Amino acid sequence: MASDKKTRRLRKPKAKKQQVGNGGETHQQAKRREDALTTDQGVPIADNQSSLKAGPRGPSLLEDFILREKITHFDHERIPERVVHARGYGAHGFFQAYPAAKKLSKAAFLQDSDAKTPVFVRFSTVAGSKGSPDLARDVRGFAVKFYTDDGIFDLVGNNIPVFFIQDAIKFPDLIHSVKPERDRGFPQAQSAHDTFWDFVGLTPESLHMLMWAMSDRAIPRSFRMMDGFGVHTFRFIDKKGKSTFVKFHWRAMLGSQAVMWDEALKINGADPDFHRKDLWNAIENGDYPEWELSVQAFDEEQADAFDFDILDASKLIPEELVPLTPIGKMTLDRNVDEFFAETEQVAFCPSHLVPGIDFTNDPLLQGRLFSYLDTQLSRLGGPNFHQIPINAPKCPVHNFHRGGHMQMHVPKRGRVSYDPNSLPDAVKAEHPSGFTSYPEAMEGDKRRLRPESFGDHYSQARLFWKSMTEPEQRHIVNAFAFELGNCEAEHIRRRMLGHLVHVDESLAERVADALGMEGKAETIEPTVPPRDPDPSPALSMVANLPETLQGRKLAVLVADGSDPALVDALRRRGKKEGANVVVVAPKIGGAKGKGGKKIGADASLGAAPSVLFDAVVVALVGHGAESIAKEADAKDFLSDAYRHCKIIGRVEGSDPLFEAAGVPIDADEGLVKVAERKLKPFFEAAKRHRIWERETEVTSAG
């Protein structure tokens, strides 16, 4: 009986009830073979909607190679994320050298100022995993791949010019301490926990970098508004073989800008893709971001005269000591076509170098030269990762490497795969202009030592602190208080306070005060007593902020009754100033403006809090103003803009919202009246970005 039932179930239903494919009529069939959906083997697929079954209700058949191929490919879609810098975003562009560059280096891409060298850049955070939010407090990676005529040059830098450790052997310890704690698997993308502060507190060489990591540099406003640094000292080699030491600097043409900590926290909630979206949109809109590449160039004699070691990556060279020499400009003008194929598979290696550039003996750099090639083997599956299009040089590649996982290259037929050779199909030979290492003299005993010249851990931390403006110092204090406040172990906090005393006593006191730990600093004896360097004004972001609206985002808050003519005028003026004006209305469908005229919205209030913008205009009138003033989102929009020290334009009629949000209409020069014929004062003020004096009025939390 049972088998009878089974036969019945499998019996073909009557033709009219049978469903084939996705239901026939709605499915667009490709008209031509070239447009056809195919398997990976190129076999055209007739039905991509249903798996192959015995009867309409199954079971599925093992022979369904189309289903199995599709699912198998899907199962293997992910590759291991980068062990550090997992969260990142990339774009294509080009680099053009300035004429001055060729005097310093014979590198092919620095010789011709008319030539455009293609580049690919990937920006990243360090600690978080691939899905972590963009605005974590963290160092940002700034890695540039130059596809030069002489091969690939990777400048794999960060947005901070120094590093936590001096020797590569400490890198796994540093990273294990900052990553989620081993037993509990949290926190994600955060240095604010015991293990990180335990490690750095016991590693005083990290003090200088900690000052940078606690500063606003670690919460950039945009990748486009972020400087980059090569960190290590490199060498440039000129045509005669002369070596000049260089430190690489990328300067953002839009200026170096940051968000505030409270903004960062809120942006992570409102738009965790804030940075990647910003870069993508800017490039799509044709606002191509640019960076100038400069070097600090110096010779052996100058290097010997510095009171720090140029091989120590925890030190920078103040620009007042060695000024920047601009050598070219990079423009990013093309988004990727496929995130995975390009941004995820791009493989940077500091060991990718071209003739005209060379390494130094910086022990951190030396370790990196091994690490990156090694990590690509496990991430990308084998030694042929250079054949993936994003990694492939754009100049000829010839050698006798053979085979390996996923070998794509089919050389011309021949027998020779060794060198030297003399058979007729013999191919490429060594070339006199090929890469040669700078013949630096070497001497010394083979030992595991830190040089004494690496011993001063506090002087440059102090240099950084002294170079900051008042608001920047305030933010550093608040960041230390936040991070150490998240440490459960009291001895870890006390130890850090003990280190801060050597950076600056007032810094240590302010942090202790914020933690409620006055007088609790551990006594720490520095190995080398700190010096008291002169400040380096070039290090401050606030002091060097360009007064511009270029690349910034302005929100105009409207509701029913707002004036469409004013909104148009704001859009036009914003565009002229290089800003992106976004109209925010209670509903994405827009508002019914004055005279019944529709005002289109770019975003709804719930989805576009003011933390996503650099300045705001509140353009409310009449009953629209009265009703929006009752909404929590609207009150937060305005009170946050105020708290974050932004320039706020106020259109007459908006007062109910100001009252409801508790924002005084004339508290300071950042609150500016706006009318259709009175736009200039607002746009001029908005170029200042923030009114820092307001910060202490509003909150001590920064």
The neighbour count for residue 441, using CB atoms within 10 Å, is 4
Under the binding rule (CB under 6 A), the answer on residue 364 touching ligand HDE is yes
Least distance (Å) between residue 538 CB and ligand HDE = 19
Catalytic residue list contains 232: no
Of 371, 387, 421, 627, the one binding ligand HDE (CB under 6 A) is 371
Q: At what angle do helices 261-270 and 632-643 cross, to 10 degrees?
A: 150
What is the C-alpha to C-alpha distance for residues 603 and 608, in angstroms, rounded to an integer? 6
Catalytic residue list contains 268: no
Binding mask 320-349 toward ligand HDE (x if CB under 6 A, else -) reads: --------------------------xxx-
Give the single-character DSSP code of 452: G
3-state DSSP assignment of residue 571? helix
Of 88, 355, 498, 551, the one binding ligand HDE (CB under 6 A) is 88
**Can you give the three-state secondary structure of 508-541, one letter per residue?**
HHHHHHHHCCCCCCCCCCCCCCCCCCCCCHHHCC
What is the C-alpha to C-alpha distance for residues 297 and 246, in angstroms, rounded to an integer? 5
At residue 661, what is the residue type? A
> Residue 176 or residue 474: which is nearer to ligand HDE going by CB?
176
Q: Site residues for ligand HDE, window 112-141 (CB under 6 A)? A: 122, 124, 141
**Residue number of the CB atom closest to ligand HDE:** 141
Task: Please pick, among 22, 27, 73, 85, the residue that the annotation labels catalytic.
Answer: 85
What is the C-alpha to C-alpha distance for residues 132 and 202, in angstroms, rounded to an integer? 28
Task: Please pick, among 158, 335, 391, 478, the residue that the annotation labels catalytic.
Answer: 158
Under the binding rule (CB under 6 A), the answer on residue 199 touching ligand HDE is no
Place of tokens 């995993």: 129
CA 140 to chain centre: 5
Place of tokens 């100001």: 658
Under the binding rule (CB under 6 A), the answer on residue 471 touching ligand HDE is no
Under the binding rule (CB under 6 A), the answer on residue 187 touching ligand HDE is no
Contact 124, 140 (CB under 8 A): yes
Q: Site residues for ligand HDE, window 166-185 (CB under 6 A)? A: 168, 171
Of 93, 157, 180, 201, the one binding ligand HDE (CB under 6 A) is 157
Place of tokens 């990013």: 332
Under the binding rule (CB under 6 A), the answer on residue 375 touching ligand HDE is yes
> Residue 370 or residue 418: which is nearer to ligand HDE going by CB?
370
Q: Which whole-number Å values give the CA distances from 484 to 164, 224, 460, 668, in the listed order?
A: 17, 30, 22, 33
Of 280, 306, 372, 692, the one binding ligand HDE (CB under 6 A) is 372
From 247-255, 360-368, 599-607, 662-670, give the range in contact with ligand HDE by CB under 6 A. 360-368
Contact 550, 479 (CB under 8 A): no
Q: Give CA angle at 379 (377, 382), nearest 5°.
A: 35
> Residue 87 or residue 644: which is nearer to ligand HDE going by CB?
87
> Residue 143 or residue 566: which is nearer to ligand HDE going by CB?
143
Under the binding rule (CB under 6 A), the answer on residue 593 touching ligand HDE is no
* Phi, psi of 655, rounded to the nearest 5 degrees: -55, -35
Under the binding rule (CB under 6 A), the answer on residue 554 touching ligand HDE is no
> Residue 376 or residue 562: which is nearer to ligand HDE going by CB?
376
Q: Give CA angle at 441 (440, 446), nearest 5°.
A: 115
Q: Site residues for ligand HDE, window 438-467 (CB under 6 A)? A: none
Under the binding rule (CB under 6 A), the answer on residue 84 touching ligand HDE is yes
> Residue 295 or residue 346: which is nearer to ligand HDE going by CB?
346
CA proximity to 478, closest of 517, 514, 506, 520? 514
What is the C-alpha to C-alpha distance for residues 454 and 364, in angstroms, rounded to an integer? 12
Catalytic residue numbers, as ranges: 85, 158
Binding site for ligand HDE (CB under 6 A): 82-85, 88, 122, 124, 141, 143, 156-158, 163, 168, 171, 231, 313, 346-348, 364, 367-368, 371-372, 375
